[in-house]
Structure 1
Amino acid sequence: MRSAETRLPESLSFGTGRAVLDPVTGAPVQFLDDRAPVRRFLLDQDAAPWHSVEHQWGSGHLVTDRGAARWLAPSGRRMAEDVVEAVHTPLPGVRVEVRRCVDGAVLRERYTVVNSADESLAVTGLGIQTPFADWYRDARTSLEEAVHAHVFTGGTWAWVLAQPMSGEGRCLGLIVREGAVRAYSV
């Protein structure tokens, strides 16, 4: 994929909310619910000044028999209507293709590792950042703005639920539909 000159949308709307996108990576930097505009589902520089861009949604790392590397800024990207695609090249001969698209009330993401080299590739580790705003400052701020991140790493049945700390309002869910998640780290 060549780097497109097409300007990325500022956000992707789905359901009753939207994902605000990074203009460089095309990755969500925040999920917003129009009914609760102060709630932050993801960590960001405003709420957590110690949070760095290297850990933004969709960045990650790959461990293979050819070495290990991280990805953040794509080597190519394109968009069309409600679809944003990015290609990362963390290692020579290895691409991570990311596709984000709106499907009705759902934002779908797909991460595909592609081996373009002649030799086989063994992936022994893969990590994708999902920095939910599960933080605790003072009680009032946390209740109004933050979420609890409930994580279940059940292999092929894995999910995360970002629930408002106050217990009121809508939740944001992340469900693994293909592949498996067997562990997570903080």
Structure 2
Amino acid sequence: MSTTAIKPLRKGLQSAAELLVEGKTNAQIARQLWVSTHTVDSHVSSIRIHVHADTGCSRAVLAHTLLTQRLVPPPALPPRWDPSFAPSPAALVLIRAFAEHSSTTDIAQALKITPGALRSRATNLKRAMRADNRAHIVGLGHTLDVFTPAARQPAPAAESVPVAPDPHLGRVPLHTLEGYL
């Protein structure tokens, strides 16, 4: 991503970007905006160019960029939101990893867990946050202000155990997403 000042999005791109941070798929965006999926594909490509994002970056990383640059507002909390929900330190790390890394392998390596453990934790977090996908999790993270400096306090060091199957992933933290599920 570039540090160049970003201009506001055009109206069509703005509408698509707002739905993207809500976790909507291109097909859902197309239905809601009454346009073709081809048009939405073009809008998403134009948004990536507009914010200087790599063409291969994930929708979660793109959502984070849009929200960080304040090009779109954070999404509303989903229906049936649990007002007592507060992300655990492990959940905060996972949300930030989704915002910073595009591939499952990169996220798992950053968290020092296996891709299988990542899928399990992502599913649990998605369920707890009532989110549709990783882009929506990142969007809701912005709604909850988990990217503010106060929320960036380092998590306490976790005890870890070795992972035998994949030496490239290192060690697996014992912290879990229990406590907020």
- Coarse TM-score class (shorter-chain normalised): under 0.3
For normalisation by structure 1, the TM-score amounts to 0.26
Larger helix proportion of the pair: 2
Tell me which of the two structures has the higher relative contact order, counting C-alpha pairs closer than 8 angstroms and 6 or more residues apart.
2
